[in-house]
Structure 1
Amino acid sequence: MTNVGLGLPIADLESLLAWARLADEGPFSTLGLLDRLVYDNPEPLVTLAAIAGATTRIRVQTEVLLAPLRSTALLAKQAATLDRISGGRFTLGLGVGGRVDDHLAADTDIRTRGRRLDEQMSQMRRIWSGLPLDTEVGPIGPKPFRPGGPEVLFGAFRPPALERVARWGDGFLCAAPVEWCDRLFRTVRESWSAAGRSGTPRLVAQVNVALGSTVDSARRNIADYYGKDAPWVVDRLLTTPEQIRDAVAAFAELGVDEVMLYCWSPDIGQVGKLADVVGGEL
């Protein structure tokens, strides 16, 4: 069975705990939150820690956290802490970030962001395992709830980045139209097998949604967030129950473990509407 999660809106920070509590009572598996630096959005690790404390069963997930913008040791400590205090309900979704202003603000080099992420993953896996960081720096706690660290998903599109899933991750987060995903999923599965990994990678899909009178608000929020790329994203916004059900079914046919319905309207009524769409009750 394919699980369905919710991506939380970023347009109304004060409403997020109410969203989370309501979603925790419904059919949803995960709450996701995106990441930017140069934008009016909440910092995801801080926010998800508050959400984990306000909920009891639903998972929390960065979707995706831009790791190269952050100090590696501190990120490892924050992720382990969130994994621990949530009782293992945390998934660390990671990406490299493609916006120049974010990297300028963080004083990081956008040209080497992929290489930096690989180096960060090597260090974070070492930290989460409890080993000393190096010959001069001892172990960095706390010990994660999940042995070896929280579940790690990578968001990516290009083959070199997709191969990172097999090298360092537990799965793949695909924020792309369903017609693109079969090829991307096959690439991830093939890389996984070629790397000699046991089992299969976890596959998570993400689509943008808005229902009812909130559609125009969602489109405005998308346009503000994505800027020059907004028309491409707005055109793919799912705005009817039928479109959402069809997308979930199509992803299920591709073997996806979870579909994240990302909400761009801050209207909390979306939680109940989407619960009805996916067969739950609130």
Structure 2
Amino acid sequence: MTIEPNARTSECRVLYGCMGLGGSWDPEPYGPSDIDAAEAAISAALDSGITVFDHADIYRHGKAEAVFGEVLARTPGLRERVTLQTKCGIRLADEDGPGRYDLRAGSITRRVEESLTRLRTDVIDVLLLHRPDPLADPDEIARALTSLRRQGLVRAFGVSNMGAAQIARLQSRLDVPLVANQLEMSLHSRDWVEAGVLLNTGGATANGFPFGTLEYCLDHGIRLQAWGALAQGRFTGRQETPAERATADLLADLARRKGTTPETVLLWWLMRHPAGIAPVVGSARPERVRACRDAALREPDLTHEEWYGLWTTARGVPLP
């Protein structure tokens, strides 16, 4: 694989999500074809200006990290060109118990050590806590994270799927700032943006997004990352409702007029928001990754009216 110079990681506005790498969603071993497929996807991301790669210890039962590590091992110099982010805190069902969340200090430390081994690296650039653990002690979490940083095993920390109050409580115990919060955000999963306009309406009670989370992250320099950003292909592949079909048509029209792809316009809709949202592109198909190239390399090219047009079309009903 030829690695060309890419945009600096600090300027990378789109992440590549590695959930689709590593073969099947079971504990069966991966094979050479899975490594080759991972290499093709990673190459497509790099070709598109994406240098931040998002993992989790549970993706494909650890195989996503493992095949990425294989690609790093076979490609000299690649590790220095990429930022590795991974997550821990979700435990899949096993002989010890059901599917659960686990942010105990010992569990965090073990998961990080296992991720380092699979990724074949000596440091994780960013570690996210994958889901809130209702039984977690924030002081214990802070001690574990502080220890990992002092040992040089993790450079920075963030969270995933957490609201403002949860982040603030954890941050109050840490000496270093949390740098990211990864949430499901897309033109399909719109609770994050609707929460700010449904106040004082009947729809507010049905919206479960913790109001104020976007504002908290923006005010505290916490980068918002959007998982599920391509909305599982609802607007660029399959459409199941009249609103989705109308949105797909509008995306295609905007893409033609702006000389880009519908996938890019879909990501631009997220990136146009002042919260500074960084989409996570999770497809394992190289052609679909390359369809997002302009999102990584161009400024979002949507007017105020175009942004609202996409929102209201996807809603299927007018704003309150």
Matched, 1:275 2:293: yes
Distance 2:217 2:289 in 1: 36
TM-score, with length taken from structure 1:
0.58
1:94 aligned to which of 121, 126, 129: 129
Shift of 1:68: 1.2
1:8 aligned to which of 7, 18, 23: 18
Match of 2:108 in 1: 72
Letter in 1 for 2:20: I
Letter in 1 for 2:216: E
Give secondary structure in 2 for the equivalent of 1:3: coil
2:223 aligned to which of 195, 202, 210: 202
Match of 1:156 in 2: 161
What is the 5 A alignment of 1:71-150?
71-78=107-114, 85=121, 90-96=125-131, 113-116=133-136, 118=138, 121-130=141-150, 141=151, 143-144=152-153, 149-150=154-155
2:213 aligned to which of 160, 166, 187: 187
Match of 2:48 in 1: 26
Distance 1:77 1:260 in 2: 24
Shift of 1:257: 5.1
CA contact (8 A) 1:93 1:153 kept: yes
Distance 2:168 2:136 in 1: 15
TM-score, with length taken from structure 2:
0.52
Letter in 1 for 2:82: I
Letter in 2 for 1:22: A
Distance 2:112 2:293 in 1: 34
1:167-225 residue CA offsets vs partner (Å, 9 max, x unmatched): 453221121346433555843653897xxxxx62222222343679x946xx9xxxxxx
Percent of aligned pairs with the same amino acid:
11
CA contact (8 A) 2:160 2:181 kept: yes
Letter in 1 for 2:143: Q
Give secondary structure in 2 for the equivalent of 1:170: strand
Match of 1:172 in 2: 181
Cα distance change, pair 188–244 in 1 and its aligned pair in 2 (3 A) = same
Higher relative contact order (CA 8 A, sep 6+): 1
Cα distance change, pair 60–274 in 1 and its aligned pair in 2 (3 A) = same
Letter in 1 for 2:285: D
Distance 2:297 2:218 in 1: 33
